[in-house]
Amino acid sequence: MGNSLSTSLSGMTPTGAAFLGGIVGSTMIFFFVATLIIYILFIIASWKIFVKAGEKGWKSLIPIYNLYIMFKIVKMKSWFWYLIFMSICASIMMVFDGYNLGTMTEEQIMNYNYINHPMTLIAIVMISIINLVAAIIYVYRLAKVFGKGIGFAILTFFFPNICWLILGFGKAKYDRKNLKKN
């Protein structure tokens, strides 16, 4: 299979090679531009969501701080700190158990025996469960504060990017009081 491809490419005329190069280059440029446009749309949607929630739009541009503000928007500010704390604790448990991504080679990481390292296994399971629970609560509360129902929360859990655009560009209004309503 590899020989037939290389044989057909080696017998290509300069015009054919230029044509093929043009097709590949055009495709790469198309995907780059499409990705850039989508990225810009998400930045604008984030900015709009922050503004709708009464926050300054520029706060959406700062990594980690924007997560803190989003947790604040859905009234889960303390959860943000718990998740940070739990992540640090899990990382420390893993380092004490010999699992350190900073010093391990790729081969060591791939061949790591989790059964022989219970602290690492417990840390990974613990942080995974906590993050899953936090994500479920977060998307539910996000849907509620923007006047959406459980269906939108489920959609947000599985397709967050689409819902982010809907919240940013749609007519959803932010209202913290929605969290108290059933």
**Distance from C-alpha of 102 to C-alpha of 129, rounded to nearest angstrom:** 24
Residue 121: predicted pLDDT:
82
Q: What is the mean predicted confidence (pLDDT) over 56-82?
A: 93
Q: What is the mean predicted confidence (pLDDT) over 27-47?
A: 94
For residue 168, pLDDT beyond 70: yes
Instruction: Kindly tell me the sign of the dihedral angle through the C-alpha atoms of 110, 113, 117, 120.
Output: positive
Task: Please report, rounded to a whole number, the percentage of residues in the chain having pLDDT higher than 70.
Answer: 93
Q: State the pTM of this model.
A: 0.75
